[in-house]
Structure 1
Amino acid sequence: MGWNTHGAYARDGDLIQLVGLRHKNFIFRLRAGAEFQSHRGVLKHDEIIGKPWGSQVFSHNGSPFFLLPPSLADILAITKRNTQILYPKDIGFILVMMGIGPGQHVVEAGTGSGALTTAFAFAVGPQGHVSTYEIRSDFQDLARKNISLLGLDDRVAFKLRDIREGFDEKEADALFLDVPNPWDYISQVRAALKPGGNFGCILPTTNQVQKVLLALREEHFAFLEVCETFLRWYRAHPARLRPTDRMVGHTGYLVFARPVLVGDENQSQELLEEAGITFLNNGDENDLHGYE
């Protein structure tokens, strides 16, 4: 059972969020007969089951909480991690830009703690599938545990392997790399993605972005795009609306591209060039100036 619960009332087995004073919150799964204990008191699960979402519940010592279904952002905020995870602002943009949706087969390399894996598994739905590759067993073990706690493990195949050996998948709908050197694996990506599918990766520096752009051009990927996202929160007071003192700035460069078919004699060279397909020669690989 996942956490995207349906209906107006909390049910046995639902993942819930309790939000108390000073925005202290707890997320756990309801189990009939169980108890939740914290420094704010004890709550019996049986007293929560059947309560309407958005209502208040109270611990044995009177501490109040709002009963809410947790959002994906709430889940990612409490995910146990042994690596830096992607920020929700990047994850949401990745899902939209790569068109991730129900029933798709998505491939990921660089599982880490499983934050993006979680978002992919949520987005593809029960009929979709996520294949995620990792070379470190300790990272994979934690990610597997995180996914299992959310009830999404039936949507995810965990693979402990170096992607230099290639991917098992063919004609995947989308493929994302969160690895230090994605330019070394673009030919493997090309073999795993369906023509016209969506590729994405995230990188911390512009040098790395240039390398992956060159590798994508060499493998005839089109519609290359590079961006970074920024998020600014506002104080939600009608009479004193203003930005908070902090904003989430640069967290990485996102690169997106799509593999297209080339080589047909009837193809328009003008269209290929407009889409970003350039056949490198005469040392062009050493000159990225003017590339759009």
Structure 2
Amino acid sequence: MANSTPITVIDRETGKAFHEKILGEKWIRWAYQDGNATTLESLLFRSSLISTLMGWWYDSPFSKGKIDSAIHELEINEWEFASPKESYGSFNEFFARHLKDGTRPFDPAPENIVSPADGRVLVFPKLDEDTFAPVKGHPFNIRKMLPVASEHFINGSLAIIRLCPADYHRYHFPCAGKIVQSRDFAGALHSVNPIALGSGPDVFGENKRSYTMIQTPNIGTYCYVEVGAFGVGSIINTKTDGSVQKMEEKGYFKFGGSTVVLVFEQNKIRFSEDLIANSAAGHETLIKVGQPLASAIEKTDKK
């Protein structure tokens, strides 16, 4: 029988825990927890066909009717929208919406690293060489996630920001720097929901993903990874080369749950204390673009 334990997230602004509303929760639990994953894996998760068809439909004008129900069901704040909901020509236009100026304030100090996305964050202050384990008993490793770049990040630090359908789906640069390398990997489209992560698929090593290496003045070179998931029509990177500024847009996801992963070199950053404490207790923290994520470690502080 499926484990129906709710997903508990800490609201950073209030400090209170809440149970996450999961779009299609019954379906996800059925697919991953009722012994059906093997049967469905090839059809749904290792083939892009279903997600491609979903992407086509969400790009079409026929999908506009889903906008009102999504806003209501997911309790999305319309006040933040840069354009009124009636102006969107498709659900994907709504999903990849811009926000009003000033909606996501941030600290411009160069030594402070900010969240690149709205979502639910887990942080790992130090990798076990190349390994991190968001779910007990199911470790993942950066060698598989970054097969040609992992050696830079052995014993480093890592943050996972998981986006849900309710979230703002544009992602940004957490600090200033210069893009020095990028690469795309084809792959499966497993769900990034913790229900799926706790059931065994190697989401970070098998899913479709893109990564960008960014050289910075304060924290060395870090890796910015976008992970695709079931239902994601596309990962769209709008900034792909040259110098980047803190909070400049990097790209956006089309419909579906998605994830951004930041991987840092050893002894370069220190995550915010509340994120460390919540993650150590096994809880994601609800975070927004521009909120504090980490700070650069001064050279004199490094051990």
Asked if these proteins are the same fold (TM beyond 0.5), I'd say no
- Considering only CA atoms, is the larger Rg found in Structure 1 or Structure 2? 1
Q: Which has the higher relative contact order, 1 or 2, with Cα contacts under 8 A spaced 6 or more apart?
A: 2
TM-score range, shorter chain: under 0.3
TM-score, structure 1 normalization? 0.22
